[in-house]
Amino acid sequence: MAIPKVIIVDDHLIFRQGLSTILTTENIATVIGDASNGKEFIDMLDQLNPDLVLMDIDMPYMNGMEATQKALEIMPDLKIIAVTMFGDEEYYYKMIELGVKGFILKTSGINEIEKAIHDVMMSESYFSNELLRKIINSIGHKNNSKTSTKALITERELEVLKLLCAGFTTDEIGEKLFISPKTVKSHRSNLLEKTNCKNTPEMIIFALKNKYIQL
């Protein structure tokens, strides 16, 4: 995988500078720009062509939710990871609905940041277990039918679902279950339809909240 081009969006200069230094020094990503709020970010998006954005949620002038929505209207294939603090839980589900591919805490270590960027660049999703627990506790149940859905999910699909919730990638799930990545993707598509979820992050939260999986 080529080193991704990244923009960091956060209203704290010291955080942007620190994260940029880590990503560059560890050869995790090439930081091509940074912005102190969503408006600055959207203004520079036309001039730059990032692969991925590390997006703060709570910012002045234009917050991370609005910036995410506008950015994905401009660049639908842009990958966005929310970089968050505890206390932002009320925004998590909205960010997922908008198309954010993952969440990492601002207190995350280098290894977690690197894994999050790697997984999202490989078209996977990424959530730390710590954040998942917060999401489960903080967001109310969606109007999905647990009983009817559970009856429709096959044993193999449940195996795939458990591994998705555990943070395994498509290739890793295929290796563990001795099936092809294409078959894993097929199971994931069926699960999305059966759970009435729009994307994998939403489905993971659905599964955890409805106790298909225990962290």
pLDDT at 183: 95
Say how many Å lie between the first and final Cα of the chain, rounded.
30
Compute the average pLDDT of residues 148-154. Answer: 70
Compute the average pLDDT of residues 125-135. Answer: 77
pLDDT tops 90 at residue 63: yes
pLDDT at 38: 95
Q: Are residues 13 and 73 in the same domain?
A: yes
When pLDDT is cut at 50, 70 and 90, the band that residue 64 belongs to is very high
d(Cα 47, Cα 135) in Å, to the nearest integer?
35
| Enclosing domain of residue 25 | 5-138
- Domain finish residue from 118, 138, 158: 138
Which CATH number belongs to the domain containing residue 166 in this structure? 1.10.10.10
Compute the average pLDDT of residues 122-148. Answer: 66
Q: Are residues 99 and 150 in the same domain?
A: no
Q: Are residues 22 and 104 in the same domain?
A: yes
Query: How distant, in Å, are the alpha carbons of 10, 32, 64, 107, 176 from that of 60?
Result: 10, 22, 9, 21, 45
- Residues 6+ positions from 149 with CB-CB distance below 8 Å: 194, 195, 196, 210
Residue 215 inside a domain? The answer is: no
pLDDT at 143: 44
Domain count, the chain: 2
pLDDT at 205: 81
